[in-house]
Amino acid sequence: MARNSKLQEDENIVVKKKGTRLFQDVLIWTLIPLLFTTMVLLIIAYVADVNVFDKAKEWTRALPFAEKVDDDENKGNIVIEERVVELQAEIQEKEAQLYKLQEDLAKSEDEKQSLLAEQTGLLAQIEALKMEKEDYHRDMKEIISTFEKMSAKSAAPVITSMSDAEAIQILSSLKPEVLAPILEKMSPKDAAKYTSLMTK
């Protein structure tokens, strides 16, 4: 039995060697000469200044199914080129929009700066007017205080020589006990005028 298994193993080894040998024979007798021939033909084509790859393209174009592939490629190329043109036009349009937005932004920034400068000027004017108003009120208080200290005989001619607005402002600010004697020292016409103006 051991002898049969030994024989069987030997047969398997022989079969494997024959299979390997057959592959080596095919490789040696077909592939190597084919590769050698191809190399020689490429060298001859190179020396003869023939571009083998261009010739191969020409021969494949001559095949009926190759024309369809070329047409499909051409259609695909045309579609791609059209898409590229569309995208370039879109890019130019977007660039124009971007440029316009940048111009608008610059204009808005200029307007903002102008408005800020105007606001600063107006705030300065408001401050100046407030100070003038405070000075005016302070001066008015001093004037009223002066009229309260003056005699009615001296105050009446001064008030009648002032403008109506100034006179009314002073007279309206005086205390009643000071106002009555001043009005008494005025002519009846002036006293009536100022009394009428103060009631309005």
Instruction: Flag whether 59 is in a domain.
Output: no
The answer on 19 and 70 residing in a single domain is no
CA trace torsion 165, 168, 174, 176 (10° rounding): -170
Q: Are residues 70 and 128 part of one domain? A: yes
Within a domain: residue 87?
A: yes
Residue 16: pLDDT over 90: no
Count helices and strands (H / E) in the chain: 8, 0
The average pLDDT across 78-90 equals 88
The answer to whether residue 58 is domain-embedded is no
How much is the pLDDT for 122?
Answer: 93
Residue 96: what pLDDT? Answer: 92
**Token output for 109:** 């920034």
Instruction: Note whether 9 and 35 are same-domain residues.
Output: yes
Q: What pLDDT is stored for residue 14 in this prediction?
A: 54
- From the list 142, 190, 200, the residue with the least C-alpha distance to 170 is 142
What pLDDT is stored for residue 178 in this prediction?
86
Q: Which residue has the higher pLDDT, 76 or 184?
A: 184
pLDDT higher than 70, residue 15: no
Residue 106 has pLDDT above 60, yes or no: yes
Looking at the domain assignment, is residue 57 inside a domain?
no
For the stretch 124-178, pLDDT in tens is: 999 999 998 888 888 888 888 888 888 888 888 988 898 888 888 888 888 888 8
Longest dimension (CA), the chain: 166
Q: Per the domain annotation, does 138 fall within a domain?
A: no
Q: One-letter amino acid identity for 59?
A: W
- Give the percent of the chain with pLDDT over 70: 82
For residues 77-88, average pLDDT = 87
Q: How many domains does the chain have?
A: 3
With cut-offs at 50, 70 and 90, classify the pLDDT of residue 115: very high
Check pLDDT > 80 for residue 2. no
114 and 88 assigned to the same domain:
yes
**pLDDT (0 to 100) of residue 1:** 53
Q: Is the model's pLDDT at 12 over the cut of 90?
A: no
Q: Are 194 and 168 in contact (CB under 8 A)?
A: yes
Residue-range definition of the domain harbouring residue 15: 1-50
The whole-angstrom separation of Cα 106 and Cα 112 is 10
Q: CB 158: neighbour CB atoms within 10 A?
A: 14
Residue 36: its pLDDT value, please? 85
